[in-house]
Amino acid sequence: MTRTLTFAIPKGRILDEALPLLAKAGIEPEAEFHDKKSRALRFATNHANVSIIRVRAFDVATFVAHGAAQIGIVGSDVVEEFDYSELYAPVDLDIGHCRLSVAQPADLADEDEAAISHVRVATKYPHLTRKYYEARGLQAECVKLNGAMELAPSLGLSRRIVDLVSSGATLKANGLVETDIIMPISARLIVNRAAFKMRSAELAPMVEAFRKAVGVKDAA
Ligand code: PRP
């Protein structure tokens, strides 16, 4: 009996860019996947032994790290935030480009960091935020939010936010300015390390297909 290989892909912005790449790598989800009204979460593909699950970006990393899914696509922000040792990220997919940045209301832009020792930050990325501020000699108290971080300063939750910035339109619409870029982000192919060893006959050619799909010749 052939065991199913589960491929986790994120809902949201990366999805539109990920689908053509999946197709280039030879994986096509069943028609229901494209039906916006469908409440299904797991889908068949053109490969009898490969199914696709569509979950939140942070959950892609969790499913793959625990081996519930063997392979997935997720932003490097999520890979870095979780820092799971079970995740192998062999291919930069060159899609989903954005940046993880610090932002704050325009009138706070020139606050002197040397005069403070502690900052309060609303973010979905407490690990990366603490690390960033630690390197600057500041202690970050993170208020964990799962979205709409841009509301935090105007409602007095925190003066600063750390969030993804793409066009900058969301910051602008909420009266915030980007004050520093923590890291550039792009989507990665991620594989469960144990599965990569145990099921290399299936997973290694799949990783190779993605490398070819993005035009990368050599192993990362
Ligand atoms: C992301 C991010 C920002 C926004 C930035 O949210 O959290 O809010 O996009 O994009 P921009 O610079 O082009 O305006 P997304 O819309 O992906 O939804 P989310 O809040 O659920 O993560």
Place of tokens 């606050």: 111
The rounded Å distance from CA 28 to ligand 1 centre is 27
Rounded CA-CA distance 216/92 in Å is 9
- Rounded to the nearest 5°, which phi and psi values hold at 108? -100, 0
Query: Ligand 1: which atom is nearest the Cα of residue 168?
Result: 12
The rounded Å distance from CA 102 to ligand 1 centre is 14
Query: Where does CATH 3.40.190.10 sit in the chain?
Result: 5-96+186-213, 98-185
Q: Which of 165, 167, 185 to mutate to test the pocket of ligand 1 (most atoms within 8 A of CB)?
A: 165
Please list the ranges in the chain whose pLDDT falls under 70: 1, 109-111, 216-220
Query: Ligand 1: which atom is nearest the Cα of residue 163?
Result: 7
Interval 72-94: pLDDT, tens:
999 999 999 999 999 999 999 99
Task: Please give the CATH superfamily to which domain 5-96+186-213 belongs.
Answer: Periplasmic binding protein-like II (3.40.190.10)
Query: Ligand 1: which atom is nearest the Cα of residue 150?
Result: 8
pLDDT of amino acid 113: 74
Q: Which residues line ligand 1 (CB under 6 A)?
A: 12-13, 147, 150, 163-170
pLDDT of amino acid 115: 78
Bridge partners of 72, per DSSP, are: 8, 190
User: In Å, how far are 105, 111, 170 from 178, measured between CA atoms?
Assistant: 9, 13, 11
Task: Please give the CATH superfamily to which domain 98-185 belongs.
Answer: Periplasmic binding protein-like II (3.40.190.10)
The rounded Å distance from CA 178 to ligand 1 centre is 14
Report the alpha-carbon angle 140-144-148, nearest 5.
115
pLDDT of amino acid 220: 46
Query: Ligand 1: which atom is nearest the Cα of residue 164?
Result: 2
